[in-house]
Amino acid sequence: MKATALMKLIYLEMFGHDMSWASFHVLEVMSSPKYLQKRVGYLGAVQSFRQDTEVLMLATNLLKKDLTSTSAITMSLPIVTLPHVITPSLALSVLSDLLPRLTHSNPAIRKKTIVTLYRLALVYPETLRPAWPKIKDRLMDEGEDPSVTAAIVNVVCELGWRRPHDFLPLAPRLFELLVDGGNNWMAIKLIKLFATLTPLEPRLVKKLLPPLTSIIRTTPAMSLLYECINGIIQGGILGNGDDSAAGEEIATLCVGKLRGMIMVEGDPNLKYVALLAFNKIVLTHPYLVAEQEDVIMDCIDNPDISIRLRALDLVVGMVSSENLMSIVGRLMRQLRNSRSPTTDERGQRPAVGAIEPAADSDDEAPEIAIRPSREPSSEPPLPDEYKIDVISRVLEMCSSNNYGNLVDFDWYIDILIQLVREAPVVRPVTMLDDSDSRSRDEPALDVSGRIGDELRSVAVKVRAIRLQATRAAEAILISAYNDNSSPLTPASGALRPIAWIVGEYASNLETPDGTLTALLHITRSSAPPEALIIFLQAIPKTFAFIAGDDQVIWTPERKTMVSLLMARIIHVLEPLAIHPDLEVQERAVEITELLRLAAEAASGQEPSSDEIQQDAPLLLTQAIPSLFSGLELNSVAVGAQRNVPVPSDLDLDELINPNLTNLLRTVDMTALDEPDEDGFETYYHQPPAAAAPTAGEPAINRLGGASEDAVHSYQQGGEESYLDPDILARRRAERLERNKDDPFYIAPTDAVSRSSTPLHNILQSNNGPDFDVDEIPVMQLELDRTNTPVTGQSSPKKPIIPKSRQRIQVAADETLVSGSSSPGNYDSESNLDAPQRPKLKGKSLLQVDSSHIGTISLEEGDHAASALDFERQQREEAEMAKAMKEVERLRLEMQRANERIQAAQGVSTETVVKKKKKKSKPVEAEAGKVPTKKKKSKQVATDEGQGEPSISADVVKPKKKKKKPKPEEGGSEHQESLVSGENGA
C-alpha cells in the first residue's frame, strides 16, 4: 500500500508538487525486500533526494548492502540512483563497494558502473586514482562487450579535454575502435577526442586523414558527417602545412559536403550547423568558401533569423573586391524591401510554418533529401536588432583593411546615404516608458551614428572623394531640415558627424547659405547637449566661409546680407547662453560675443561706392577665418591616446575654480522655452511651404503605374532595386555629364531622343538640317580582301581600352611611435576575429563543479608533473611540518607538567639529576659520567646506574629552592623519567 501511494506521489511530483516531506517514507520503501517495491522506492529517491536531504545519511548502509547483492537487477538499482544523489561523503563510503562491480560478469552492470564512477569523480575526484586502472583494463580488452566499450569511450571523451596528455598512450586502441567500431555515436565521441589530441601529437594527423576521409565519403548519417568535418577543422588538419595537397583535397571534400547539407530542403538544423562549419573553414580556405556564394547568399533570405545571422558572419569573412558590391547590394535590397514589425508582432517569433524533413538525416544520403526549391513565402517582418546587425556588417565589410576591398567610393557614399534612410529610428525615452519594455522592444543603440562616423572617416581619409562626401553630408542635413517625413531628428546620432563634416569642409559646400539655415534650425530644436556642442562648432565655421571672402567687394548689398546673417546667428545662440550644460554655455557665449564684435565692425565700415572702394572688415575676412584654418585634422588611431605621456605636474583632482559650487547654485536651471513667434522668426527660420512635390524625385516616379517587381536573386536587378529614386537620378545625371563627349557612349532612350545621338549631331551640323541619315547607301563589306589599302583613313590596330578607374589613396591613421595602435574593427557578437567570450568554468551539464578534475593525474608517479600539483605538495608539506611542531610543543608541555608533579611528591635523585643537569653549574661540574645527549630509555638507565653516590648527595640540596623549570628549557623524554623513577625505587 505504501509503495502504491509513493507511486502516485511521484506522479504528482512530475507536475511540480513538492514531495521532499516524504523522504523518510521513500527510504522505507527502498528497504523493502521485494524487488517491485524496492524499485519504486529508488525511483522516489531519484525524484526527491538532493544533496541536503537529511535521510540520505541513513541510506548509506542500504546502498552498500544492495551494491553487494547477488541479484543483478537489485544491484543495478543503487548504481543508477547514485548519480542523482551523490555527495562527497557518500562517494567515499560506496567507492570500495562500487569498484568490484567493474569485473562483474554481466556487461550491463559493468556499463552502468563505469558511468556512475564518472559521476562520482565529478564530486569526489580521488575516485579516479583507484578506478582508472580498472577502466583502462576494460578499454584495452578486445573481447569486451561493445556497450561497455562505448560507455568507456564516453567517459574518456569527457575527461580528455581536461587533461588530454594523459590519454595519448591510448591513441592506438582508440584509432582501432574508430576504424573497426561500426558505432556512429562512438565514432562521434572518438573524433571529438582525437580533435583534442592532435595538437599535442601532430603525427596523428597523417594517421587520421584516411579513415576520416573514408567516413565523409561513405557515411549516410548527417550527424557523423558533420562531426567528421568539425573534428578535421578543430584538430588543425586543414591548416596543417606538412602535406598541402592532402589538405586541399580534404578541404574541397568538406566544402562540397557542407554545400549539400545547406541544400537539403526543410531541415534548418542542417543549414545552421553547415554555416557554423563554413565560418571555421573560411579562416583557412576563404577562396573555397567564396565559390559557394550562391547557396550562402540564399541563406540571407531564410525565414529563420538565426540562419540569417550565421550567413552574415560568413559573408563578412569571404568578402573580396570582386563580390563586395553584389553582397552589399543583396543586403541593401533586403533592408529596403522589408518592413519593421508592428507593436503586436514585437517580442514574438515569426511563424515560418511547419517543417517536414524530406529524409531521415541519420539514415539517408543527403542527395536523396534534396528537392527543387519552392517559392519563398511572404517575408516576415525584420526586427530592428537584425537591421542594426545588417547595417553593422555592411559597414564592416566596406571599411575592412582600411577600405582595401572598396573600388568605387562614389557607390559607397550612395550606400551610406541609403543606410541613413533605412536605419531604425530610436524613439526618445519618456518618463512613462517602462525600462523593461524599452530594452525588449527598441534597438539597443542608434546605428545611424556609426553610419555618420563612416561618412566622416571617408571624408577625412580619402582626399580625392572629400568633395562628394561633403556634398552627401550637406544633402542629408538639408533633407532633415526640409523634409518633415525624414527619419532623422536633432537627436539622431548621424547628424553629429554630418555637422562636423559640413563645418570642417565648408569650402566644398554647394549651397552654404542653405546649410547654415539648416544648422540654425536644428540648433534651435530640442537637441541633446552632445549634439549641440558639435552644431555650435559648425555654425561659425560655415559663417566664416560665407562672410570671409576678401576678394568680394564690400558693397551695400553684401554689408546688409552679412549683418542680417550675424543677427540670425546671435538670435539663435543667445538662449543657449543659459543652457544647463556648461560646454554648451561656453561655446554659445564665445561665439555670440565674437559675432557681436564683428557686427559692430561691419556697421562701422562704410560700403563701397562708385568713387571709393572699401574693403570688408578685417575681423570678418582675417580674424574669424584664422580661428579655423591651419593644420589639417587627420584620422587618429584608436590606441594612440594611450601612448601620450602623462605630465608629471598634472593634478586632475585640483579644483579649477574654488567658487564653482556657488556659481552653479546661482544658475537658473529652468528649462528653455521656445521663443515667441514673430516676423523675424517666421522669415528667417520657418521653411517655406512645399508648393510642389519633392524636387529631387524624377517626374516619371510621380505618374504611378506599374510597381517594381520583387527581386529574388542577388544576380538580378541593379542599383535601382536598393537605392532611392533621387540617388539614382543624381547618379544618372553625373554619368550623362561625364560621358557627353564620348562618341561611343549610347545615351538612354528616356534622356535623349532616338534620332539625336552624338554622331547624328556631328553629321547634321556639318551637312545641314536637311541631311537624312537613312539616305546613306549601304555598302557591302568584303572581309576576304584584307590586303586592300584604304587611303585617307587609318584603321585602328588596337581596340579602344576603357579608361582605368581613378587611383584613390586612403590615408592611414596617425599614432605615436611608441606602443602599438591600430584601428580596431567594430565589435560584434558573432564576429570571428573578435576575442571569444570566456566559458564559465566549473559548471557541467550535470550542474556540478568539475573544474578540479583537471588537477588529478591519471599517470602513476606523476603527482608533481604540473605546477598546480607541485604547489599543492609544497602546501601539504608545510602544513605537516607545522602540525609536527605543534605536537612536539604539546608533548614537551605534558612532560614538564609530569616532572613537576613527580618533584613535588619526592621522586628519586636520579630523576632530579637528569632534570637539572643543564641548569645547575655544580651538577655540570661533577656529573662527568652522566651523558649529555638524549638517548633511548635503556641507555639512560644503564648510565644512571653506574653513577657514584656522591653525585646524588650533592644534588639533593638544591631541591629546597623549588624553582619551576622554564617551559622552553630542554629535558629528557617522558619515558626516560619513568625509567629513572623505577631505578630509584
Render pLDDT for 865-891 as a digit per residue (tens, 0 to 9).
444 555 666 777 888 888 888 888 888
The pLDDT assigned to 886 comes to 86
The pLDDT assigned to 413 comes to 92
d(Cα 561, Cα 603) in Å, to the nearest integer?
12
Out of 170-179, 180-189, 287-296, 822-831, pick the least confident: 822-831
Local confidence band at 66 (pLDDT 50, 70, 90 cut-offs): very high
Question: What are the beta bridge partners of residue 814?
Answer: 636
The pLDDT assigned to 864 comes to 40
99 by DSSP, 3-state: which?
Answer: helix
Dump pLDDT digits (tens) for 784-811. Answer: 544 444 444 444 444 444 444 556 778 7
Who contacts 677 (Cβ-Cβ below 8 Å, separation ≥6)?
none
Dump pLDDT digits (tens) for 153-173. Answer: 999 998 888 888 888 889 999
Q: Which three cell numbers stand for residue 74?
A: 537489485
The pLDDT assigned to 659 comes to 82
Give me the percent of the chain exceeding a pLDDT of 70: 67
pLDDT of 383 over the 80 cut: yes
The pLDDT assigned to 820 comes to 43
621 by DSSP, 3-state: which?
Answer: helix
d(Cα 327, Cα 24) in Å, to the nearest integer?
67
The pLDDT assigned to 291 comes to 86
d(Cα 751, Cα 733) in Å, to the nearest integer?
10
Give me the percent of the chain exceeding a pLDDT of 90: 21
Out of 139-153, 293-307, 586-600, 664-678, pick the least confident: 664-678
Do 523 and 536 touch, CB atoms closer than 8 A? yes
Chain-centre distance for alpha carbon 946 = 87
Q: Which three cell numbers stand for residue 67?
A: 551494491
Dump pLDDT digits (tens) for 496-535. Answer: 999 999 999 999 999 999 999 999 998 888 888 998 999 9
SS3 content of the chain, % helix, strand, coil (to 5): 60, 0, 40
pLDDT of 781 over the 70 cut: no
d(Cα 241, Cα 227) in Å, to the nearest integer?
22
pLDDT of 670 over the 60 cut: no
The pLDDT assigned to 978 comes to 39
Largest Cα–Cα separation, the chain? 163
pLDDT of 208 over the 80 cut: yes
d(Cα 334, Cα 343) in Å, to the nearest integer?
21
> Is the C-alpha dihedral spanning 961, 966, 970, 972 positive or negative?
positive
Q: For 421-447, what is the mean pLDDT? A: 56
Q: 204 vs 239, 370, 807, CA distance in Å?
A: 14, 35, 50
Q: For 455-462, what is the mean pLDDT? A: 91
518 by DSSP, 3-state: which?
Answer: helix
Dump pLDDT digits (tens) for 317-356. Answer: 888 888 889 889 888 888 888 766 555 555 454 444 444 4
The pLDDT assigned to 166 comes to 85
Of 147 and 905, more confident: 147
The pLDDT assigned to 74 comes to 93
Local confidence band at 757 (pLDDT 50, 70, 90 cut-offs): low
Of 643 and 594, more confident: 594
Do 546 and 512 touch, CB atoms closer than 8 A? yes
Do 635 and 461 touch, CB atoms closer than 8 A? yes
The pLDDT assigned to 583 comes to 92
Chain-centre distance for alpha carbon 930 = 81
The pLDDT assigned to 737 comes to 78
**DSSP type of residue 470:** H
The pLDDT assigned to 541 comes to 92
Do 208 and 235 touch, CB atoms closer than 8 A? yes
d(Cα 944, Cα 387) in Å, to the nearest integer?
100
d(Cα 920, Cα 922) in Å, to the nearest integer?
6
791 by DSSP, 3-state: which?
Answer: coil
Dump pLDDT digits (tens) for 389-404. Answer: 999 999 999 988 888 8
DSSP string, 859-875: STT-TTSSHHHHHHHHH
The mean pLDDT value of the chain amounts to: 74
Out of 359-373, 777-791, 900-914, pick the least confident: 359-373
d(Cα 197, Cα 753) in Å, to the nearest integer?
74
Of 941 and 90, more confident: 90
Q: Which three cell numbers stand for residue 656?
A: 579649477
Local confidence band at 749 (pLDDT 50, 70, 90 cut-offs): low
d(Cα 299, Cα 336) in Å, to the nearest integer?
18
pLDDT of 900 over the 80 cut: yes
Dump pLDDT digits (tens) for 711-736. Answer: 444 444 567 677 777 787 877 787 77
The pLDDT assigned to 937 comes to 42
Q: What φ, ψ does residue 323 adopt, rounded to 5°? A: -105, 5
Q: What φ, ψ does residue 215 adopt, rounded to 5°? A: -65, -45
Do 274 and 311 touch, CB atoms closer than 8 A? no
Q: For 287-310, what is the mean pLDDT? A: 87
- Find cell 541613413 and name the residue: 420
Dump pLDDT digits (tens) for 6-60. Answer: 999 999 988 888 888 888 889 899 999 999 999 999 999 999 888 888 888 888 8
- Find cell 579655423 and name the residue: 628
Q: For 953-975, what is the mean pLDDT? A: 44
Q: Which three cell numbers stand for residue 927?
A: 656529573
832 by DSSP, 3-state: which?
Answer: coil
